[in-house]
Amino acid sequence: MSSTPDPVPRPLDHLTECGADSDPALVLRGETLSWDDLRSRIARMAAWLIAQGPQKGARVATWAAKGELTCLMPLATARAGLVHVPINPLLKCAQVRHILNDCSASLLIANAGRLGSLGEGDVPFACTIADEKEVLEELADFSASLNLSSFDTNDLAAILYTSGSTGRPKGVMLSHANLWLGAVSVAHYLGMYSDDVTLAVLPLSFDYGQNQLLSTWYAGGSVVPLDYLTPRDVIKACARHGITTLAAVPPLWVQLTEQDWPADAKANLRRMTNSGGALTQGLVRDLTQMCPEARLFPMYGLTEAFRSTYLDPAMVDSHPASMGTAIPFAEILVVDEAGQIATEGELVHCGPLVAQGYWQDATRTAERFKPAPAASSYRGMAVWSGDNVRRDEDGLLYFIGRDDAMIKSAGNRISPQEIESAAIATGEAEEAVAFGVADERLGHAIHLVVRGTRDDDALRSGLRSELPNFMQPGLIKWVDAMPVNPNGKIDRARLQQEAI
């Protein structure tokens, strides 16, 4: 792979041309797809989608575990001129209902169990539902000769839903160019090649998880998707498939460092990549001791601009707390309150990786997507991250803190308001405040303060029925009255400080 990545984007489905015909591209549970198989299956899947009759730009949602459907759909929808909306399989009906209705999905594909869990009003009136198994069986009836697409690379290719600090998940709009250049950028700075094998353990509904596929395929390598139950499953898969690239979030890394790694599990491992939360110095030490031959890449990113920075593995030991520097195709500026370049201030991401905003949400788009600072060489729109950072004399960036109240637990970005709304909806809470408290294993442990019935079991039961496991509070504290600030609002800062 060349030292300078090609900055010219192509339609996303052109990634199918990156590998050699007979080489493996996707290792599924029951079969391995070669690159020739991959091209054929994607063409058939795109032809099936077109036959369903959606208009160009219609949204196609998938709600399923990792497998052929969820791995191929990002490229199949791109070829068909449609927009993919991957839904985290851990989400429950309330979140799925919001996503489907918010994006006005024309088609939902899921397994029979998930489809059976949906109730009246969960699926938009005009949305067709299809069983995952039946769709895959029908593909044999469709032609594999559908040509590569020639869509404008600025056309919308995907909507990835991510939680905000307030309100329900919002859809980040990503173009073909966003996703293509993200794949090119990561493949280059990780130094990936056609003999690389990536273990895809992260959810494909996340930008970081989806890039496991796209960057590996850009390099011509192969992907092994895995829905794991325990960290031992990850280690066994590394040994079984000769994994060279492993991406994870800090909580999983903590669990992996607590396990014994057989020699064959790490024999082929070339690189470990981290995002979704900062690595502690202790975890950096444990990871380098666990797999001393693998290069460790700490990374920082946000869905609104995909990835922003990475730290060169050669600098991890000497600068373990640093976020590093900008990835290819990203311009990272540090801006003070006056909009001037500073050594400490808000991180602003400029360049072609910046998303197109939030789906049908002009208000929240205007809050995060603003004109780039005058010092930007890219100009145009930039993502103002809300994260405060510091740049040292060597140009390395360091994270200081967030402006919003986002909870980041076990690699998931969680809206406090979504937890609070679910608590009140149970009927057990009159008022609720959720926040994160620093936790070595999770990044943030979720704390919930409530005023209400004091029936802990009933509240937890209600929350389990409405929220996925990663959104369940670790601690629930009942109070007789919520503290208020001078403006009469609940004093969240006081509650969080008391918890700390």
The ranges assigned to domains in the chain are 12-391, 407-499
Query: Is it the case that residue 440 has pLDDT exceeding 90?
Result: no
Position 414 scores a pLDDT of 86
Query: Is it the case that residue 467 has pLDDT exceeding 70?
Result: yes
Query: Is it the case that residue 104 has pLDDT exceeding 70?
Result: yes
When mean pLDDT is compared across 92-101, 148-157, 172-181, 482-491, the lowest value belongs to 482-491
Position 276 scores a pLDDT of 79
Query: Is it the case that residue 329 has pLDDT exceeding 60?
Result: yes
Cα–Cα distance measured from residue 324 to residue 399, given in angstroms and rounded to the nearest whole number? 10
Query: 447: helix, coil or strand?
Result: strand
What is the model's pTM? 0.87
Position 486 scores a pLDDT of 47
Among candidates 263, 178, 183, which has minimal Cα distance to 223?
183
CB atoms within 10 A of CB 65: 16
Under CATH, what is the fold of the domain 12-391? Rossmann fold (3.40.50)
When mean pLDDT is compared across 125-139, 322-336, 356-370, 429-443, the lowest value belongs to 429-443
Query: Between vectors from CA 166 to CA 162 and to CA 169, what angle results, nearest 5°?
Result: 25
Q: Which residues of 174-212 are buried (b: 16+ CB within 10 A; e: fewer)?
A: bbbbbbbbbbbbbbbbbebeeebbbbbbbbbbbbbbbbb
Look up residue 341 and give its DSSP letter: B
308 and 324 in contact (C-beta within 8 Å)?
Answer: no
Query: Is it the case that residue 459 has pLDDT exceeding 90?
Result: yes
pLDDT in tens, 83-100: 999 999 988 898 999 999
Position 39 scores a pLDDT of 97
Class of the CATH-defined domain 407-499: alpha beta
pLDDT in tens, 222-254: 999 999 999 999 999 999 999 999 999 888 898
When mean pLDDT is compared across 125-134, 169-178, 395-404, the lowest value belongs to 395-404
Query: Is it the case that residue 32 has pLDDT exceeding 50?
Result: yes
From the centroid of its chain, how far is CA 9?
21
Position 290 scores a pLDDT of 96
Look up residue 480 and give its DSSP letter: S
When mean pLDDT is compared across 165-179, 369-383, 385-399, the lowest value belongs to 165-179
Residue 209 carries which side chain, given as an amino acid letter? Answer: G
CA distances 232 to 217, 237, 239, 243, 349, Å, are 26, 9, 11, 14, 37
pLDDT category of residue 431 using cuts at 50, 70 and 90 = confident
Q: What's the mean pLDDT in 183-200? A: 98
Q: What's the mean pLDDT in 51-59? A: 96
pLDDT in tens, 252-273: 898 999 999 999 999 999 999 9
pLDDT in tens, 392-422: 999 999 988 766 667 889 888 787 878 988 9
Position 487 scores a pLDDT of 46
Query: Is it the case that residue 488 has pLDDT exceeding 60?
Result: no
Position 165 scores a pLDDT of 45
Q: What's the mean pLDDT in 387-391? A: 92
Average pLDDT, the chain: 93
